[in-house]
Structure 1
Amino acid sequence: MVGKVKRDTLSLNLKKLEESPGGYLMHVAQKWEREVDNVLDGFDTTCTQIELLSCLVKLMKEGNPVTQKDIAEYLRRDKNTVSEVMRSMEKKGYITRSVSENDMRAKYILLTDKGYDLLEKAVSEIVRMDERFFTDYNENHELRKLLEKYL
Structure 2
Amino acid sequence: MVLGPGGLNADLDLATGAFTGDLVLPPTSGKFTVLGFLPVESKVEFAPVGKTTGTLSAGSVRSNSKVTIKLPSITVFGIPISSDAACGTSTPASIDLVSGPGFDPLTGGRLSGTYTIPALTGCGLFNDLVSGLTAGPDNAIELTLTPKTA
Q: TM-score, normalised by structure 2?
A: 0.23
Radius of gyration: which is bigger? 1
TM-score (norm 1): 0.23
